[in-house]
Structure 1
Amino acid sequence: MISFLRGTVAHVGLSSAVIDLNGAGMSVNATPQTLGSLRVGGEGKLFTSLIVREDSLTLYGFGSDDEREVFDILLSVSGVGPRLALAVLAVHEPEAIRVAAHSGDGKAFTKVPGIGPKVGARIVLELAGKLVPHGTATGATPAVSAEAAWKPQVVAAMTSLGWSEKDATSSIDKSLADAPELAEKGNVAEILRATLRWLGQDGARAGNRAGARG
């Protein structure tokens, strides 16, 4: 695996740069911020992630190891490829991405071109526990004092998945009746998962009642 490149910057384009490594030019895709830090003729160092496809080998470059780590973790989300992950890093700093994922702030991801509410909600769900802000213990969840801090985010995630606001609000309240500790923690991703599980169980119960009547 190519962990980083250090060499003379031979070219800087709109979406990529070429680093001269003793006569061999390596093309690297990067964010505008990273490309803006490079100067043709000067020395450049980029931390890299190599994406292997059947028909291509593509290098993505980052100004810090933290950026590369966040990029690699974003790729674990279904439907998020290298270009979209790079777009997220072009809009948000790595720490902002960690905070958004940890707090369940799906709206932060919708600020990225190409990411709508559904994808934003999926990113939050699939990144839960994988990205935490620096200085936060792994697995810890942020304490929220008021329901108003998390409920609108959960409702927004559910409406993006097809439920009406009324049904979403009602389902959240009913699901948390059996798990009040989740409301106290205020973790959006956990509350959303619990609500979706409750809806699935409620649907199964309704089906059993209908079968019994038949």
Structure 2
Amino acid sequence: MISSLRGTVLRASGAEAVIEVAGVGYLVNVTPEHALSLRVGDEALVHTTLIVREDALTLYGFVDVEQLGVFELLLGVNGVGPKSALGVLAALTPDQIAAAVQADDDVAFRKVSGIGPKTAKLIVVQLAGKLHVTTRVTAAPASPSARRTIADDVRIALVGLGWPEKAAAGAVDEVLAELGDAAAEASPASVPALLRRALALLGPSAGQTAGAAR
């Protein structure tokens, strides 16, 4: 079992990253926002789990053990495979997943590409009592130039998920327009939240149209 990788980032785009450890490059499936946080040439620590199938050995990587733990819990739900579990974590934070489960809110999961109504309900039922909401620290506001980078990051993530450049850019612009003054508080930590807002605007059919989110 490969539980973590620490090495040099050779490539990071879409929903994949290549981490070189001792001269060997490992292809790791990650969420789009995780891929955006990795910089080519930098050293990175990725918490991983190895999924073994008859025809493939596939690594899935996460920014922390909390995400990894939620991923493994999702795999225990009937009808949820690795790609769908990663899709849930691409759309929802561990806290949001825990909150949805506690509130018996399966709608949050039905918005994720690859998760149907029956599976969404099973997630809520089978994860009940296994997740807890934690308190998050709010990051400091970013400068206008940083906000531009954040908007670009969200757009790039949407393109990585398969959306056309024009549709991705339009969704990002609409999200920023909806936020208004609140957009001034955007920080690098806001990328996942902005990405989820953009995905909500584009609709749950994103993965069905692009086929890249799963």
TM range (shorter): 0.5 to 0.7
The residue number in structure 1 matching 2:16 is 16
Identity of aligned residues (%): 52
- Is 1:43 equivalent to 2:43 in the alignment? yes
* Distance in 2 (alpha carbons) for counterparts of 1:117 and 1:129: 21
Shift of 1:130: 2.1
Deviations 1:128-174 (A, max 9, x none): 22223248xxxxxxxxxxxxxxxxxxxxxxxxxxxxxxxxxxxxxxx
* Distance in 2 (alpha carbons) for counterparts of 1:31 and 1:21: 21
In structure 1, the gaps of 5 or more residues are 136-214
* Distance in 1 (alpha carbons) for counterparts of 2:82 and 2:56: 13
- Pairs aligned (count): 135
Deviations 1:2-54 (A, max 9, x none): 22111000111322111011210011000001101101111111110111112
* Distance in 2 (alpha carbons) for counterparts of 1:75 and 1:131: 14
Matches within 5 A, 1:23-172: 23-134=23-134
Deviates more, 1:41-50 or 1:118-127: 118-127
Aligned residues: CA RMSD: 1.3
Equivalent AA in structure 2 for residue 39 of structure 1:
R
* Distance in 2 (alpha carbons) for counterparts of 1:90 and 1:129: 22
The residue number in structure 1 matching 2:2 is 2
Runs of 4+ in 1 over 4 A off after TM superposition: none
In structure 2, the gaps of 5 or more residues are 136-214
Deviates more, 1:72-81 or 1:49-58: 49-58
**SS, match of residue 108 in structure 1:** helix
Check whether the contact 2:4–2:47 (CA below 8 A) recurs between aligned residues. yes
Bigger Cα Rg: 1
Check whether the contact 1:101–1:132 (CA below 8 A) recurs between aligned residues. no
**SS, match of residue 105 in structure 1:** coil
* Distance in 1 (alpha carbons) for counterparts of 2:45 and 2:83: 21
